[in-house]
Structure 1
Amino acid sequence: MLIGYMRPYQEDPKCADQLQKLKNVDCTNIIAEEHASAKKRTRLKEILKNLNRGDKIIITKLFTIADSTHHLVEILETIERKGAYLQSLTEGIDTSSADGYSFNAIVNHLLVFQSDVISEKTKQGMYEAKLKGVSTGRPRKPDENVKRAITMYQSKKYSLAEIKEKTGISKSTLYRYLESEIM
């Protein structure tokens, strides 16, 4: 049986892209998680529990099925123990194929996978912070201090060290603001 598995994530929150790709490979059954939470993968647990010899789980990319390299290894061991297979469309991985993979290809896929995990967690954290009204990134310097530093600099009466001491504006920050004023 070909079992399509998908879950929502930041770039595909409704699983629409995943669904289209899984339909293109004629999955017998397509199963979706209701949420992106790594802790509550009830549908994945159900699939792994009911997996039969010769079944194949098809995903669009490795990030869909696991949230860490360790988690991926656990899932792959479970699938292999059951005599089933995994196919990842994006990475071109199919454990049912006799055409082996080179070690370099596997390592490269794991690097991309780990990057996807970090990227998705970062995007999720930024999204959640935005919902809470928290601004992300480096805090801006107060405008009064910047204006004062620019005035002091343009008066040519103060050294850069004195400007920094009195306003808290560093030389690089001052120059960046001066450049933006010119443009």
Structure 2
Amino acid sequence: MKIGYARVSTQEQNLDLQINELTKFGCDNIYQEKISGKNTERPELRKLMASLRKGDEVAIWKLDRLGRSLRDLVDVVAHLQEKGVDFVSLHDHINTTTATGQFTFNIFASLADFERDIIRERTKAGLSAAKARGKKGGRPAGLTPEKMQVG
């Protein structure tokens, strides 16, 4: 079964273009959402993921409609693959049912891992530099009982 997912970030935006393309592709069911991609709680995406069965195919209009970041996108598609579900991005010409589509998506996954490693290295370097300047990391100390005493 071909299942579509269409999302726009704000209530003022329109889903028509995505829905038209997903319908033309042959999607039997299209989950629609008007919610920011940064929002981790996307109810329609959660419903879509819960409804999937092995052999289904999830289609989106464009990659940025599915994931909040490259890492999030890779995680979602990896979850689809674990369930035996194929993935198609119409605008980006990615189709994990083909060797080329699988290769392209693996490149994206590698880039996401690289991005995560770079962020980790920058964070460690920043913490080391702060420590060398005498800065102490972590949360500030809370109020002690003595400091709570008002004169």
TM normalised by structure 1 equals 0.52
Letter in 1 for 2:13: P
Judging by fraction of residues, say which structure has more strand.
2
Match of 1:78 in 2: 79
**Where does structure 1 lack aligned partners over 5 or more consecutive residues?**
112-183
Q: Does 1:92 align with 2:102?
A: no
Paired residues in the alignment total 109
Distance 1:7 1:98, change over 3 A: same
Distance 1:77 1:61, change over 3 A: same
Q: Distance in 1 between matches of 2:55 and 2:83?
A: 9
Q: CA deviation at 1:101?
A: 5.4
Q: Does 1:64 align with 2:65?
A: yes
User: What does the per-residue CA deviation read over 1:120-160, in whole Å, with 9 as the maximum and x for residues that have no partner?
Assistant: xxxxxxxxxxxxxxxxxxxxxxxxxxxxxxxxxxxxxxxxx
Secondary structure of the residue aligned to 1:63 is helix
> Where does 1:133-148 land on structure 2 (aligned, <5 Å)?
none
Q: CA deviation at 1:99?
A: 4.1
Judging by fraction of residues, say which structure has more helix.
1
Match of 1:45 in 2: 46
Distance 1:72 1:103, change over 3 A: closer
> Percent identity between the aligned chains?
30
Q: CA deviation at 1:40?
A: 2.1
User: What does the per-residue CA deviation read over 1:91-135, in whole Å, with 9 as the maximum and x for residues that have no partner?
Assistant: 10011124455569945xx79xxxxxxxxxxxxxxxxxxxxxxxx
**Where does structure 2 lack aligned partners over 5 or more consecutive residues?**
113-151
Runs of 4+ in 1 over 3 A off after TM superposition: 98-107
Q: CA deviation at 1:45?
A: 1.2
User: What does the per-residue CA deviation read over 1:25-66, in whole Å, with 9 as the maximum and x for residues that have no partner?
Assistant: 111111101323522211111111221001011001110000
TM normalised by structure 2 equals 0.62
Structure with greater Cα Rg = 1
Letter in 2 for 1:81: E
